[in-house]
């Protein structure tokens, strides 16, 4: 395929000057002189106007790109060459609604159990105390409970994929009024503040039940009869837990017989009553197919390390390191381990028994030694790519500035001027 150049677009302060310079560089120099093939890497491109403009430019010019961000499942990341979140065709039902064999079903069920009983979450959670204890604590016996996981105000999926009347600033007002009407039906809304939000004024919403801020997500899923959200990633957890979910915005996980879409307040009320009366039929087979696709065919997985900071009434988590153990790019799995957890064994462990003879003799047979050299070379080549890829994802600016490739020099000049 010719020489593959990875051209990273990262957005800095001077919107127009940087964008125009970028276009000029790409159209006038990069395509013709430096590389035959190129990829635009964009992190959550809808986060601000500058990134969105670059994203739209790449799409309009029909340029290959990959957008990447964290996903709803523990340790998960997506590298998507079809779009971002709801506007991506990667989630189209034709891509995943296919029959699974028995082994795939068992594998997926085991993964679902691992997530629902585990302690890994996208955001930090409190310790699990059990859904029954939580129900008693909140005084919700004999109630139909709709769990409402809140999102962070200003989140890119809220800014780009919500619609009237269910905008973030009005969502709790609508639910508060509905709760008053539904009290006679023994229906309650249990709301949880997003872990990255610092403040939430709960006083205006006297008809809603607010769970303690550190309540464990899985306890709330066990507690509820259904989930009600704008387009939170908790909607994916609702599928894992086989819970009906009402979605009040555009979400990538919205599919018939897995959840319901409310386009207005009338539909929202109808869906709530329908679920509370047991009229929603959840398709477990379809759910398994969707989760299998996300876990084993589309998402990548890696242990992430974060730095936290507080700005504008919310907590920001910035990833500074990722240890990938499953990596999917352009539909191909190029890395696949169970996890990155290291196992330590004592020297007298039975695991070393097959190697006792070689250890004592302090030498390897010729054929074994040759195989070891070949294996070591292959691993070295792999880990070199892995280290570079990890640096590219976590710190693209340094990746470009540290590159010794000649075709990166013009890119460095543009970045220096933009800083």
CA 207 remoteness from chain centre: 32
Q: If you average pLDDT over each of 19-23, 73-77, 205-209, which comes out highest?
A: 205-209
Q: Which helix (H) or strand (E) holds 225?
A: none
Domains defined along the chain, listed by start: 4-90+302-418 (no CATH), 93-297 (3.40.50.12580)
pLDDT tens column, 310-326: 766 667 777 788 888 88
pLDDT of residue 386: 58
Sign of CA dihedral 295, 298, 301, 304: negative
- The residues pairing with 226 across neighbouring beta strands, listed in sequence order, are 146
Contact 318, 304 (CB under 8 A): no
pLDDT tens column, 165-218: 999 989 999 999 999 999 999 999 999 998 887 778 899 999 999 999 999 999
Q: Using CA atoms in the order 220, 226, 228, 232, what is the torsion angle rounded to 10 degrees?
A: 60
pLDDT of residue 7: 42
Average pLDDT over residues 370-383: 47
pLDDT of residue 285: 98
Residues 6+ apart with CB under 8 A from 138: 190, 209, 211
What region, left, alpha or beta, does residue 186 occupy, with left being phi > 0 and alpha being psi -120 to 50 degrees? left
Q: Is the pLDDT of residue 42 over 80?
A: no
pLDDT tens column, 97-122: 999 999 999 999 999 999 998 877 76
Contact 66, 81 (CB under 8 A): yes
pTM, full prediction: 0.75
H-type helices in 63-167, by residue range?
A: 102-117, 131-138, 156-161
Find the largest Cα–Cα distance for the chain. 81
Distance, CA of 36 to CA of 2 (rounded, Å): 6
H-type helices in 73-216, by residue range?
A: 102-117, 131-138, 156-161, 168-182
Average pLDDT over residues 124-153: 90
Q: Is the pLDDT of residue 91 over 90?
A: yes
Tallying the residues shown for the chain, one arrives at 419
Contact 200, 150 (CB under 8 A): yes
Listed residue (135, 156, 155) closest to 147, CA to CA: 135
Q: Is the pLDDT of residue 149 over 80?
A: yes
H-type helices in 212-308, by residue range?
A: 217-223, 234-240, 265-276, 284-293
Q: At residue 86, what are phi and psi to the nearest 5 degrees?
A: -60, -30
Higher pLDDT, 146 or 362: 146
């Amino acid at each position: 395929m010719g020489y593959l150049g990875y051209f990273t677009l990262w957005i800095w302060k001077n919107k127009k000057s940087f964008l125009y310079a970028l276009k000029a560089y790409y159209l006038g120099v990069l395509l013709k002189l430096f590389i035959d093939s190129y990829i635009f890497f964009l992190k959550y491109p809808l986060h601000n106007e500058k990134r969105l403009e670059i994203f739209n430019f790449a799409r309009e010019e029909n340029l290959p790109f990959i957008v990447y961000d964290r996903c709803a499942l523990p340790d998960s990341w997506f590298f998507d060459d079809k779009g971002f979140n709801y506007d991506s065709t990667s989630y189209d039902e034709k891509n995943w609604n296919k029959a699974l064999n028995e082994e795939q079903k068992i594998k997926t069920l085991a993964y679902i159990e691992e997530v629902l009983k585990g302690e890994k979450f996208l955001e930090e959670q409190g310790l699990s105390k059990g859904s029954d204890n939580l129900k008693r604590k909140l005084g919700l016996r004999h109630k139909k409970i709709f769990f409402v996981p809140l999102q962070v105000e200003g989140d890119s999926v809220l800014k780009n994929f919500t619609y009237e009347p269910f905008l973030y600033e009005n969502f709790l007002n609508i639910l508060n009024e509905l709760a008053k009407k539904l009290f006679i039906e023994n229906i309650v809304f249990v709301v949880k503040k997003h872990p990255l939000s610092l403040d939430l004024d709960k006083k205006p919403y006297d008809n809603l039940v607010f769970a303690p801020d550190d309540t464990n997500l899985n306890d709330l899923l066990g507690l509820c009869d259904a989930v009600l959200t704008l387009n939170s990633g908790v909607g994916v957890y609702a599928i894992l837990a086989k819970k009906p979910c009402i979605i009040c915005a555009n979400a990538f996980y919205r599919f018939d017989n897995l959840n319901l879409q409310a386009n207005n307040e009338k539909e929202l009320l109808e869906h709530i009553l329908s679920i509370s009366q047991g009229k929603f039929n959840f398709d477990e087979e379809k759910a398994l197919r969707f989760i299998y696709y996300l876990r084993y065919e589309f998402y990548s997985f890696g242990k992430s390390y974060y730095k936290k900071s507080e700005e504008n009434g919310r907590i920001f988590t910035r990833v500074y390191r990722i240890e990938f153990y499953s990596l999917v790019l352009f539909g191909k799995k190029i890395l696949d381990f169970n996890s990155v957890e290291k196992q330590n064994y004592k020297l007298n462990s039975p695991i070393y028994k097959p190697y006792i003879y070689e250890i004592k003799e302090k030498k390897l047979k010729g054929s074994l030694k040759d195989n070891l050299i070949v294996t070591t070379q292959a691993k070295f080549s792999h880990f070199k790519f892995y280290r570079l890829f990890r640096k590219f994802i976590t710190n693209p600016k340094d990746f470009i500035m540290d590159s010794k490739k000649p075709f990166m020099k013009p890119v460095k000049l543009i970045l220096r001027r933009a800083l």
